[in-house]
Amino acid sequence: MLARQVPRGRAVGVDLWRSVDQSGNDPSQTLRNAAAEAVAIELITADMRALPLATGSIDVVVSSLAIHNIPDGPGRMRAIAEAARVLRPGGRLVLADFRHARAYAEELAALGLGDVAVRDLGWRFWYGGPWGRTSVVTAIR
């Protein structure tokens, strides 16, 4: 769906492809999903704490329910720093997660991103119940 938003751009997906984090997580399935949506995507196998992308090369970074899978706080903050690093000036970040959203926002602000905001996504985005509320963090480079 997001790839449709960049018809003249390029959509890149980065993952470790570990089924322990998400059942059925596999690059071939992701490519089948993209084909079903009639969009072209590029997949990279990489750790989000060390993105193999040039600094300032990405217009929009989107992460959905992924960064919390990094088990330690310093690792999660490294992933946030990498997302900020690859954003071009004026680029946007949208990060949905059900843990650590305020910490992500504080790190983004400390890294110099602007318009940093945290918003609860409401009951439709509960992760198992009201105790697992998903928030979205947005920011601009």
Using one digit for the tens of pLDDT, what is the confidence trace for 92-139? 999 999 999 999 999 999 999 999 999 999 998 887 788 889 999 999
Q: Looking at the domain covering 54-141, what would its CATH class be? A: alpha beta
Q: Where are the domains of the chain?
A: 1-45, 54-141
Write down the residue that tokens 């600094």 correspond to: 55
Which neighbouring-strand residues pair with 42? 12
Q: What are phi and psi of 68, to 5 degrees?
A: -65, -20
Structure pTM? 0.89
| pLDDT score of 21 more than 80 | no
Contacts of 102-109 with CB under 8 Å at 24 or more apart are 103/73, 103/76, 103/77, 104/67, 104/76, 104/80, 104/137, 105/137, 105/139, 107/77, 107/80, 107/81, 108/80, 108/84, 108/137, 108/139, 109/139
Rounded distance, CA 86 to CA 61, Å?
8
